[in-house]
Structure 1
């Protein structure tokens, strides 16, 4: 068994306030093998991110690092129990949808990333990435055993339904444990609509094993690798693949 802490925290514009919340959440997650935080934990989205972004060796090893054209990278970092940076995934699919233009401030990455943490090979997925099943399949092909989905999912008509449906779909179609963590709503500090909460653990058959709702919170959940083997014995859809995506 692997224990995972789903850390659904609100995110403020101030990085120092967010770092304090991260430390408080980690204290509540004590004993978990892996803790997962939302996208953009360093600071809330907005035009100030280009001034607040830090390099990967900065004081807040975070989800944003400098890029060469004045934009930043939306970067998910993976840190092991010793504090070593094991991987940095730069978000590939930028949210130029529903009237937003993430690409005006953020430069895209290009490489799907799988990293081993706590003995589990974790495939990294950031927010809008969840709408692209080919990324999830690329992570499967790299040996992922768990999808870690981080998000600052915007609110709006049907958006919460989209989030739940997409997270469950990526889990089911890949018979993959999926831990998805979003920002808790934070209307006191921002009215930009980011953060619907609904952090979840979904099992390899698409069943929601945990759902944090909309309130801030930390929940420790268990990932059973035997459930993956059982699901794939019953539903061997990965073995039945006929069409392969050529990324060259």
Structure 2
């Protein structure tokens, strides 16, 4: 299966970002991709106003998503992205959606909020309280994660034990000391320790690192982007997963039960 990563710098106005997303969808179809992953929080960003994205939140039946759904009616491409969705009292969810054939086929509210490195996502964002679903793309089970989720190996392991062969991760990985190293190490670790593919797609621009990449089940990056806008395509091969899991049966050899999501009150 061919997958695509659409890396770009999110703009201030949602209509510009909708146009970019639709253009990347069109280009991914032209490249023969079955799955396109876009960055995190693609609705709106103002690097001089950190609350702008939250203030620009739209419901899932709002104009931003409706334009993407209309574009997706033209083909069978599955597109994954996140955006801020209102949750009342001026607060929002960071919601991942998967769209295909004009419909939202899956949604997930980000579990792990980025309260780290002197940032506090939870100031305006409510955490989700459910594990993300798996989706099927051309017979391959895909597990859904968002950005900071990458730092929690229990989540990736649970999704793989539930059947995922490919983990996808829209992200807006903030620049900082050693942060590019963290990104590459963590994406590689989640792939290697679970003997699965990981497609991690980061926003680029002045605030975030970009560096989107696809890592295979032996921890090998098969394609990667730099710090500028790009559309990457690569192959996900189910037989590669089978061969690696035969040679490196860590899932079969493990001695721990599947991780469970802790119950947490808002």
Fold conserved between structures, TM > 0.5: yes
Equivalent residues of 2:11, 2:44 under 8 A apart: yes
Distance 1:107 1:198 in 2: 27
2:57 aligned residue: 53
Return the offset for 1:122: 1.1
2:114 aligned residue: 95
1:138 aligned residue: 158
Distance 1:42 1:172 in 2: 32
Equivalent residues of 2:43, 2:53 under 8 A apart: no
Distance 1:128 1:181 in 2: 12
Return the offset for 1:66: 1.5
Deviations 1:55-103 (A, max 9, x none): 11212225221113431000110012x1211111111000010100100
Distance 1:59 1:118 in 2: 29
- The alignment of Structure 1 onto Structure 2 pairs a total of residues equal to 239
Distance 1:60 1:141 in 2: 34
Unpaired segments of 5 or more residues in structure 1? 188-192
TM-score, normalised to structure 1, is: 0.92
Equivalent residues of 1:34, 1:118 under 8 A apart: no
Question: Relative to total residues, which structure has the larger helix share, 1 or 2?
Answer: 2
Provide the secondary structure at the position in 1 that maps to 2:63.
coil
Pair 1:74-2:78 in alignment: no
User: Which segment is superposed worse, 88-97 or 25-34?
Assistant: 25-34
TM-score, normalised to structure 2, is: 0.86
2:144 aligned residue: 124
CA RMSD, aligned part only? Answer: 1.4
Equivalent residues of 1:112, 1:124 under 8 A apart: no
